[in-house]
Amino acid sequence: MAGCDSTRPRPTPTPTDDHAFPAADRPVATIVSSRWSTEEARDRVNEADKVMDMADIRPGMTVADIGAGEGYYTIRLAARVGKDGRVLAEDIIPEVRDGLAQRVARERLDNVSVRLGDPEDPKLPDASFDRIFMVHMYHEIEEPYEFLWRMRPSLRPNGTVIVVDANRETQNHGTPPDLLKCEMAAVGYKLVTMRDMPSAGGYLAMFRAQGPRPEPRAIKACKNRGLPTPGASATPAGPRKGHKPA
């Protein structure tokens, strides 16, 4: 999506038989929207081009835009990867997904497909993506360990996850960098680089999957300040809740 500026109801989570994932020890942003800022304002500071340059987006790549919202990044990624590339845009709010699908059809973006995901599962095809974008949405994921675990198989070898977020507490529509690094590492993602990026509203971080994907019950939860929770296990903490990718 790219933002948080108006209230939307969270979707009802899809029931799951696997309750092995640890609960996140952090609040979740409650206000969600399909817009972080206007596209004109973001283009004035050259946001998308700078992020795509850092992510080394090239013609022919296959890219996922998670929490695509109104499609700010989807549209610009489609132009960058070109006719030989592909962009999959995902959102979990049906009306947001439908609105983006209409925009894609209206602008005749033949290299873009639009998909409805679940709060805990982006439902991406395995071994398919060179890059996965999560822009101004990570703080709205209520079950980050399950979400990241289910997303991981969709990366191609050397595929990269791109996270853009604000450096503030999750309830204030951001993610502290240490917390992001800890939660990603808990599911086997290695930090490649992290840079301040005021033009995109905060910072940009890039991760790659490293080693085998951990068993859900082996994942250790992180404290809100990015430290492992001593003795944390994958004991369920109650029913799952949905998130709205931003």
Read off the pLDDT band of 79 (50, 70, 90): very high
Per-residue pLDDT of 112-170, as tens digits, reads: 999 999 999 999 999 999 999 999 999 999 999 999 999 999 999 999 999 999 999 99
> What's the Cα-to-Cα distance from 30 to each of 57, 96, 146, rounded to whole Å?
32, 17, 19
The per-residue pLDDT for 27 is 87
Provide the pLDDT for residue 209. Answer: 97
Residue 7's Cα: distance from chain center in Å? 19
pLDDT(226) > 50 = no
**Alpha carbons 215 and 234: distance in angstroms, whole number:** 10
C-alpha separations of 75 from 72, 113, 131 in Å: 6, 11, 15
**What is the Cα–Cα distance from 239 to 21, expressed in whole angstroms?**
12
Give residue 18's pLDDT. Answer: 53
For 98, phi then psi, to 5°, come to -65, -40
Give 203's strand partners: 165, 196
Average of pLDDT values for 62-72?
A: 96
The predicted model gives 62-73 an average pLDDT of 96
In the predicted model, is pLDDT for residue 29 greater than 90?
no
Instruction: Tell me the average pLDDT across 211-237.
Output: 67
* Position 7 pLDDT exceeds 60: no
Which of 26-35, 79-88, 148-157, 172-181 has the least mean pLDDT? 26-35
Checking if the pLDDT of 31 tops 60, the result is: no
Q: What is each CA distance from 67 to 19, 33, 38, 63, in whole angstroms?
A: 24, 10, 16, 13
Q: What is the mean pLDDT of the chain?
A: 85
Mean pLDDT (whole number) for 11-22: 62
- Asked whether the predicted pLDDT for residue 86 surpasses 60, the reply is yes
- Structure pTM? 0.83
* Three-state secondary structure call for residue 167: coil
* Angstrom distance (rounded) from CA 144 to CA 25: 10
Whole-number pLDDT of residue 199: 83
> Of 34 and 188, which is predicted with more confidence?
188
For residue 92, pLDDT over 80 is answered with yes
pLDDT score of 235: 31
Q: What is the mean pLDDT of residues 69-88?
A: 97
Q: Is the pLDDT of residue 33 over 70?
A: no
**pLDDT number for residue 48:** 94
Q: Across-strand partners of 195?
A: 204
